[in-house]
């Protein structure tokens, strides 16, 4: 790894703080609405075992939709390709919580990263099990990936979203009406809101993302063909209707969350986590996206 990475990260941190447009924090989850937008942290875990960071990289944040990469990895491990009978693999070109597309396509969500798709993935993970057991498996996967037991679910965030998650309830009930939900909407959504409410720092998230780097230097949690496919889905669907723009600007597979986190993978090289809670119009971190674009350019990181 080039020795100037620490300097690049601290310069990025300074650059991000010198501009006052931080975007808007997600307000539809009341527990997240009060978070100060002017925070920024970045961490890079490399295939050769180093961890570099700058800014607020030790502040825990709600990973929200970034969890969907971990839950998809666990679900594919349990159900294999059967999962694709229930959910597609195409970019949606629509907001992450779109209702209209789900109806037009008769209850088969476009991909596993939009909310409807992640609800189906969660429903699949619940097969024959209680929410507690399912959540235990997801959290343990994340802890093992990060080599860190100090990763937890924030109950207040989960309950706050459950009390206000009307769009997700609409999606789940529509899925149920088409036969693409096996459990009661309350049960599947309760589990979904809880795994979205996992908290990590940027340093923990960068560590947890290493299972997607695909390097012989790292412990293997899933097989290389599946790692490549998860990365393909992150590139094409990881930023919803902002996925094309992110691929154009950054050129790396990545997954965002409304907590302001982004996990990006440099295949064979590194896992990068960035966090800044203010969002752009697609619901993805404003400063996080800018920082990823600058870092990728300065490091010459791109899959293209
Ligand atoms: O279901 C929701 O709306 C949230 N728990 C997660 C959405 C999310 O993170 C979208 N990402 N940018």
- Hey, where are the domains in the chain? 5-62+200-299, 65-198
Spatial separation of the C-alpha atoms in residues 210 and 145, rounded to whole Å? 7
Tell me which residue has tokens 């149920």: 176
For residue 156, name the pLDDT band (cuts at 50, 70, 90). Answer: very high
Q: What is the CATH number of domain 5-62+200-299?
A: 3.40.710.10
pTM for the whole thing?
Answer: 0.98
Q: How far, in Å, from the CA of 148 to the mean position of ligand 1?
A: 24
- In angstroms, how far apart are the furthest CA atoms of the chain? 56
pLDDT per residue as tens digits for the range 8-19: 999 999 999 999
For residue 64 and ligand 1, the question of a CB distance below 6 A is answered with: yes
pLDDT per residue as tens digits for the range 237-266: 999 999 999 999 999 999 999 999 999 999
Q: What's the pLDDT score for residue 50?
A: 97
167 SS3 class: helix
Annotated catalytic residues are 65, 68, 192, 240, 258
For residue 282 and ligand 1, the question of a CB distance below 6 A is answered with: no
Non-local (6+) Cβ contacts of 235 within 8 A are: 243, 247, 252, 253, 254, 303
**HEC secondary structure over 71-133:** HHHHHHHHHHHHHHHCCCCCCCCCCCCCCHHHHHCCCCCCCCCCHHHHHHHHHHHCCCCCHHH
Q: How far, in Å, from the CA of 24 to the mean position of ligand 1?
A: 14
Q: What's the pLDDT score for residue 247?
A: 98
Contact 189, 168 (CB under 8 A): yes
Pocket test for ligand 1, best of 67, 115, 193 (most atoms within 8 A of CB): 115
For residue 115, name the pLDDT band (cuts at 50, 70, 90). Answer: very high
For residue 1, name the pLDDT band (cuts at 50, 70, 90). Answer: low
Contact 274, 254 (CB under 8 A): no
**pLDDT of residue 2 exceeding 70:** no
For residue 196 and ligand 1, the question of a CB distance below 6 A is answered with: yes
For residue 115 and ligand 1, the question of a CB distance below 6 A is answered with: yes
Q: What's the pLDDT score for residue 163?
A: 97
Given this chain, do its domains 5-62+200-299 and 65-198 carry the same CATH topology?
A: yes
For residue 168 and ligand 1, the question of a CB distance below 6 A is answered with: yes
Q: What's the pLDDT score for residue 86?
A: 98
For residue 257 and ligand 1, the question of a CB distance below 6 A is answered with: yes
**pLDDT of residue 206 exceeding 90:** yes
pLDDT per residue as tens digits for the range 71-114: 999 999 999 999 999 999 999 999 999 999 999 999 999 999 99
Spatial separation of the C-alpha atoms in residues 46 and 224, rounded to whole Å? 17
pLDDT per residue as tens digits for the range 15-52: 999 999 999 999 999 999 999 999 999 999 999 999 99
For residue 214 and ligand 1, the question of a CB distance below 6 A is answered with: no
Pocket test for ligand 1, best of 96, 138, 193 (most atoms within 8 A of CB): 96
Spatial separation of the C-alpha atoms in residues 262 and 108, rounded to whole Å? 26
**pLDDT of residue 133 exceeding 90:** yes
Q: How far, in Å, from the CA of 48 to the mean position of ligand 1?
A: 32
65-198 domain in CATH 3.40.710.10? yes
Spatial separation of the C-alpha atoms in residues 69 and 226, rounded to whole Å? 12
Pocket test for ligand 1, best of 119, 190, 258, 285 (most atoms within 8 A of CB): 258
Tell me the two tokens of residue 90.
């195409």
Spatial separation of the C-alpha atoms in residues 172 and 197, rounded to whole Å? 18
């Amino acid at each position: 790894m080039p020795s100037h990475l620490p300097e690049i990260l601290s310069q990025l941190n300074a650059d991000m703080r010198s501009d006052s447009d931080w975007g808007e924090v997600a307000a539809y989850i009341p527990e997240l609405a009060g978070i100060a937008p002017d925070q920024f942290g970045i961490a890079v875990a490399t295939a050769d075992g180093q961890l570099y960071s700058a800014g607020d990289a030790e502040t825990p944040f709600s990973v929200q939709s970034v969890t969907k990469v971990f839950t998809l990895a666990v679900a594919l491990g349990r159900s294999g390709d059967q999962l694709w009978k229930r959910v597609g693999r195409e970019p949606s070109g629509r907001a992450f919580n779109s209702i209209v597309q789900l109806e037009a396509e008769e209850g088969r969500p476009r991909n596993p990263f939009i909310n409807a798709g992640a609800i189906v993935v969660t429903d699949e993970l619940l097969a024959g099990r209680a929410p507690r057991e399912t959540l235990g498996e997801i959290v343990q996967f994340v802890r093992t990936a990060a080599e860190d037991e100090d990763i937890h679910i924030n109950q207040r965030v989960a309950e706050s979203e459950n009390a206000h998650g009307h769009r997700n309830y609409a999606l789940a009930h529509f899925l149920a009406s088409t036969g693409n939900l096996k459990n009661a909407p309350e049960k599947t959504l309760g589990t979904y809101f809880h795994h979205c409410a996992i908290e990590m720092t940027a340093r923990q998230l960068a560590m947890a993302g290493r299972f997607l780097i695909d390097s012989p230097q790292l412990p293997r949690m899933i097989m290389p063909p599946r790692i490549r496919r998860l990365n393909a889905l992150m590139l094409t669907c990881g930023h919803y209707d902002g996925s094309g723009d992110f691929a154009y600007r950054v050129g790396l597979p990545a997954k965002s969350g409304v907590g302001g986190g982004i996990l990006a993978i440099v295949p064979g090289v590194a896992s990068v986590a960035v966090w800044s809670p203010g969002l752009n119009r697609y619901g993805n971190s404003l400063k996080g996206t800018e920082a990823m674009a600058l870092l990728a350019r300065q490091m010459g990181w791109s899959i293209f």
